[in-house]
Amino acid sequence: MTLIEAINYRRSVRKYDPDKEINTQKVKRCIKQATLAPNSSNMQLWEFYHITKPDVLKNVSKACFDQPAAKTAKQMVVIVARRDLWKKRASANLDYIKTTFKNKDPKDYNPREKFAINYYKKLIPLTYNDFLGIFGLIKYVFYWMAGLFRPVYRQARKSDLRIVAHKSAGLAAQTFMLSMADINYDTCPMEGFDSLRVKKALQLPRKVEINMIISCGIKLPEGIYGERFRIPFEEVYKVI
């Protein structure tokens, strides 16, 4: 498909064909494509749990209130935000950047290279480090005061960084669903679930935050609830 065709094809499917299976490797490939989605500072604070086992699907479906999109799904993908992995991800970015400098001596770095190193070595830790929300509040007040005189980055609190991680995970979710649409596989993003029970079913770490559960399969005609409805474009489009 073209991109436009994939966008038009993708619908939230509420009921899948029980007689049609989907290929696990093809779904895995779509998840891999999802990792190419844009994300904040290339921190990639996400993980993807690909559910294929019938018993786990059943348990997660129960945690999703056995809504039809979950109960009839052939597979599921649970996308989680991992803000807690910021140190590991920053270190991975830093190591990668250094390899692109081809073992240059640090004193020979040009300004752009120095900025890239300092971004992950100093700025990211400054942004993500916190202690019981106290440091975040101090940064918020400091940035607010500095913002009286010049533009500053204001999203300094723990709650702000949670939003940043979830926005990146949401971009990955959309990329995954469009990749699935491209091969005529159907999906439904679900936000109605008991997060604690899902974590238990998947044995997820305590600090993991579930962004979205996406059911997968081949749609039945009745799995799409009518024509797509959108608010008139003129109501949401503002040109300035």
Let me know whether 181 and 67 are in one domain: yes
Question: What is the amino acid identity at position 8?
Answer: N
Q: What is the pLDDT of residues 78-117, one digit of tens each?
A: 999 999 999 999 999 999 999 998 878 888 899 999 999 9
Q: How confident is the model at residue 133 (pLDDT cuts 50, 70, 90)?
A: confident
Phi and psi at residue 81, in whole multiples of 5°?
Answer: -95, 135
Number of domains in the chain: 2
pTM, 2 dp? 0.93
111 in Cβ contact with 119 (< 8 Å): no
Let me know whether 19 and 79 are in one domain: yes
Let me know whether 72 and 21 are in one domain: yes
End-of-domain residue from the set 159, 184, 211: 159
Q: What is the pLDDT of residue 236?
A: 97
Looking at residue 20, which CATH number applies to its domain?
3.40.109.10
Let me know whether 59 and 100 are in one domain: no
Let me know whether 174 and 215 are in one domain: yes
Interacting residues of 116 by C-beta distance below 8 A, sequence separation 6+: 97
40 in Cβ contact with 178 (< 8 Å): no
Question: What is the amino acid identity at position 36?
Answer: L
Token representation of residue 58 = 């059943």
Let me know whether 113 and 208 are in one domain: no
End-of-domain residue from the set 110, 125, 159: 159
Let me know whether 79 and 173 are in one domain: yes
Q: Residue 62 CA to chain centroid, in angstroms? A: 23
Let me know whether 25 and 56 are in one domain: yes
Distance CA 4, CA 2 (A): 5
User: Is 151 inside a domain boundary?
Assistant: yes
User: Is 230 inside a domain boundary?
Assistant: no
Instruction: Residue 204: give the domain boundaries.
Output: 3-84+169-222
Averaged pLDDT score across all residues of the chain: 95
Let me know whether 78 and 189 are in one domain: yes
User: Is 106 inside a domain boundary?
Assistant: yes
* Helix-strand-coil split of the chain, %, nearest 5: 55, 10, 35
Arithmetic mean of pLDDT, 20-43: 98
Let me know whether 152 and 182 are in one domain: no
User: Is 228 inside a domain boundary?
Assistant: no
Token representation of residue 74 = 């052939």
Q: What is the pLDDT of residues 48-64, one digit of tens each?
A: 999 999 999 999 999 99
User: Is 239 inside a domain boundary?
Assistant: no
Q: What is the pLDDT of residues 177-210, one digit of tens each?
A: 999 999 999 999 999 999 999 999 999 998 999 9
Q: What is the 8-class DSSP label of residue 16?
A: B
